[in-house]
Amino acid sequence: VAPNLLSSYRKANGGDHAAAEILNLELLLPGVGSQDRALPPGRRLFVCSCLIPRADMRTFLEQTERLVYTTGDQSLSEAMFLDKIPVVKPDAKVTQWQLALNAKLQGLSKVPDLGRVMRDLVTVEATRSRMREASEVFSKALELQMVASLGPVESWTPTNIIMARAGMMG
C-alpha cells in the first residue's frame, strides 16, 4: 500500500519523488489478525516513489537488492531478466508476468520495447504477417486446450463462452 500512497502524494504535490522511512510493520496473519512488529535494531527500511524513465529502468534495477517490488509490466520484466526476485505475484497483468517469466527461462536477454513493436506492426508488412501467423497458431493451441478442458464448444455454458472471449481461459 505504501508505494501507492507515496505515488499519490508525489503527484498531488507536483514533485518528482517522495520517500518515507518505515518504523513499524503491521503484519496481517490469517486466523490471528494483525500484529505490530518493530524492525530489528539497526535495520532501516525506506520506501520511495519516483518516476524512472524507461531508458533508465535497467540501470536503476541493477542497483537494487535481489528482492524487488515492481508496479509496472516493464519494470517487472526488466527485474526478472536481471535475476531479481519479484516478491509478490502481480494482481493485474498476470498473463504478461507469466510470459515474461517464460521468456526469461528460455534465455532471452532483453525485454522488447513495446513502442518499437507497435511501430513495426503499423509500418512493416513482414512484422504484421509474422504476428498474424503467430496469433493464429496461439489461438488454435488455446482452442485445443479449452476443448480438452471443457469439452466440445457446443457444450459450453454462457459463462465459459464469456470467459473464453475475455481471454480468461488461458
Tens place of pLDDT for every residue, the chain, 170 residues? 345 667 777 778 887 888 888 888 888 777 778 888 888 899 888 887 777 777 788 888 888 888 887 777 677 778 877 888 777 666 666 776 677 677 767 766 555 667 788 888 889 999 999 999 998 998 888 888 888 888 898 998 888 888 777 776 65
pTM of this prediction? Answer: 0.39
pLDDT value at residue 100: 67
pLDDT, residue 58, reads 83
Cα-based distances in Å from 133 to 49, 100, 104, 125, 146? 41, 21, 23, 12, 20
